[in-house]
Amino acid sequence: MKADQRLRRIRSTLGLSQEQMAKELRVTRAALTLWETRKRAMPGPVLLILELYERELGFNETLPALCIQEKINVGKMRHLDLAKMTFQTALASLKEEISKLFSHQHKRSVENRIHEALVLNLIDQLGKLKGLPMKVGQMMSFFDFDLSEEERFYFSTLQQQSPSLPERNIIEIIVEEFGETPRQLFKTWEALPFSAASIGQVHKAVLENGKTVAVKVQYPGIRNSLEKDLLYAKGIDKILTHIFKGQEPGVWIEEIKARFLEECDYVNEAKNQEFFKNFFENDKNISIPSIIKEHSGRKVLTSEYVEGKNFASFCSHASELEKEWAAQTIFRFFTEPFLQSGCLHVDPHPGNFLFSSEKIHFLDFGCVKKVSVSFLEHFKNMLHSLKTNDKILFKQSCLGIQMTKQPEVFNFDWQFGFMKEWLLPWYHEKPVHLSPKKYKALWQKATLQNPNVKNLNFSSELIFLNHTIWAIYALFSHLRVELTDIP
């Protein structure tokens, strides 16, 4: 391959403009243009620098430049307009944050610069997807990346409300499911939804027996839209597995695909909701709405209607004691079913909580991960090893949950120290204060300061557990409380 082709391949893979690449090479843009058009021979020192980039990028491993098509037909998905706007806001903030974090490194090696460029290019590519922004935007919306007040407003809107579909579309879906219109099926029906989120919108209705219910109706074509986006997102997996060289290829995208498409199955969601309701049946602080089976189907899910303050309102008005109670209750909701049954709710964004007197109502059970008995045993052994400072058991547990495929180069001592701090609330050795500053420090330690980044592997059972732990901690950082006396 000629020098100009090598240069363009590096620049394309990193997602850099000519001006940005010139800055990386410490040359003028004019010089770069002359090299790429073969109007001037490339100097020997520059060729040596190209070799450094190629070696780090692993071009001998045939890493392709990422290409994502944009022609995705989303049909009637008008509700995604706000999602795309807020998603782009999230990506811009995340991109700026990553740039700041990399710039704080004392040594800006070729490796660091390449990883930064790849991550920023990945974020740009994510922004081109059309069916996923609402879902991913919700997942990102409560992570603290120094958002402005305007950005926080967009995110709070995304968590609670987005533009709804016309009533005629909703009527078509309900008639398809039950053979009756909403006004025939229910005693009263509110055409304007009170909530609209990632894959469906929710209407208030009253049954013939006078019971008030919440009716979630799936957006038409949402599954097809998600499938298309996930198909194009396979290229993103290639970049991720290049950044995290220890990662088994294809696992991330397949697990994300399984969980997101599972959310389109309202029959499965009803089963999940019933499991959690039965699990917490006698808990005085945790409330799960009942499913109305005769008014539920593949694309319509009817539940008991509940009311309460949203997360933002609760955080603004609750006392410190109430916030501590909320943190403990939220923590128990996510950890107890997982540690006892291997069943983990993996969608802990604030829009899924409503706060009322002495209770938290938990909503939306479409995204639930069930792990194997073996994985759960290894994870519980890991918690025990952290509590008892047993590094031998810790190493066995890491291998058991497939945290690395390269144990010979994995720094288990560093990982032990980090996990002991990160999982502290899980084994309750002492009170934990998770301020936004502390949360961000943990995040930086897990990413930029982690010597194991290149050797980490996330198995299908670890991916969403990792996400959920970070998401729960993000909630705690917003509550700004100490976690004490967790059962």
Predicted confidence (pLDDT) per residue in 38-95, tens digit: 888 888 767 777 776 776 666 654 433 333 333 323 333 333 343 444 444 444 554 5
Q: Is 114 left (phi over 0), alpha (psi -120 to 50) or beta?
A: alpha
Q: What percent of the chain has pLDDT over 70?
A: 71
The helix, strand and coil proportions of the chain, stated in percent and rounded to the nearest 5, come to: 55, 10, 35
Q: Residue 99 belongs to what H/E stretch?
A: helix 80-103
| Phi, then psi, of 196 in degrees rounded to 5 | -140, 125
Query: Largest Cα–Cα distance in the chain?
Result: 83
- 483 close to 328: Cβ distance less than 8 angstroms: yes
Q: In angstroms, rounded to a whole number, what is the distance separating the alpha carbons of residues 277 and 123? A: 38
Mean pLDDT for 274-282 is: 97
- 435 close to 312: Cβ distance less than 8 angstroms: no
Ranked by mean pLDDT, the top range of 300-309, 438-447, 464-473 is 300-309
- Check residue 351 and report its DSSP letter: G
How many helices (H) does the chain have, and how many strands (E)? 22, 12
- 249 close to 237: Cβ distance less than 8 angstroms: yes
Q: What is residue 67's predicted lDDT score, i.e. its pLDDT?
A: 36
Q: Residues with Cβ < 8 Å from 104, sequence gap 6 or more?
A: none
The reply to whether the predicted model has a pTM over 0.85 is: no
Q: Lowest mean pLDDT of 125-134, 146-155, 291-300, name the range.
A: 146-155
Per-residue pLDDT at 105 exceeds 90: no
Domain boundaries, the chain: 3-61, 66-262, 371-483
For 407-470, give the DSSP string. TTT--HHHHHHHHHHHTHHHHTSS-EE--HHHHHHHHHHHHTT-TTGGGB---HHHHHHHHHHH
Q: In angstroms, rounded to a whole number, what is the distance separating the alpha carbons of residues 442 and 459? A: 22
Structure-token match 């460029």, residue found: 117
Q: What average pLDDT does the structure give for the chain?
A: 79
Q: In angstroms, rounded to a whole number, what is the distance separating the alpha carbons of residues 17 and 32? A: 11
CATH of domain 3-61: 1.10.260
